[in-house]
Amino acid sequence: MSEFVLQSPDTDEALRRPCVSVAVIMRRERIDNRWQPWRWELADVVPHEAGFGQQPRLLLKDDSEERWLHPGFKVELFIGDAEGYYLNVTTPQPCFWVVWRMEEQALLADEPVAVPQIVTLSYHDAGRWLDAQETVEQVAAPLDVVQWLQRFVDQHHVLEAKRRQRPQSFKTLQDRFGNPVRVSTDKTMGGTGRG
| pLDDT tens figures, 138-163 | 999 999 999 999 999 999 988 766 66
Answer yes or no: is 98 within a domain: yes
CB 44 within 8 A of CB 98: no
Percent of the chain's residues with pLDDT above 70 = 74
CA angle 48, 51, 56 (to 5 degrees): 70
Nearest CA to 75 out of 157, 2, 134, 152 is that of: 152
Q: What is the pTM of this model?
A: 0.74
Answer yes or no: is 135 within a domain: yes
Answer yes or no: is 166 within a domain: no
Answer yes or no: is 25 within a domain: yes
Span 41-99, pLDDT tens digits: 999 999 999 899 999 999 999 988 999 999 999 999 999 999 999 999 999 999 999 99
Q: How many domains does the chain have?
A: 1
Minimum mean pLDDT among 24-33, 43-52, 168-177: which range?
Answer: 168-177
Q: Which domain holds residue 151?
A: 6-156
Answer yes or no: is 190 within a domain: no
Distance, in Å, from the CA atom of 17 to the CA atom of 11, rounded to the nearest integer, reads 9
Q: Tell me the three-class secondary structure of 4-30, residue by residue.
A: CCEECCCCCCCCCCCEEEEEEEEEEEE
What 8-state DSSP symbol labels residue 133? T
Answer yes or no: is 168 within a domain: no
Q: Which has the higher per-residue pLDDT, 20 or 166? A: 20
Binned at pLDDT 50, 70 and 90, residue 105 comes out as confident
Answer yes or no: is 170 within a domain: no
Binned at pLDDT 50, 70 and 90, residue 17 comes out as confident
Q: Given the DSSP bridges, would you call strands 95-102 and 114-120 parallel, antiparallel or unpaired?
A: antiparallel
Distance, in Å, from the CA atom of 7 to the CA atom of 148, rounded to the nearest integer, reads 9
Answer yes or no: is 70 within a domain: yes
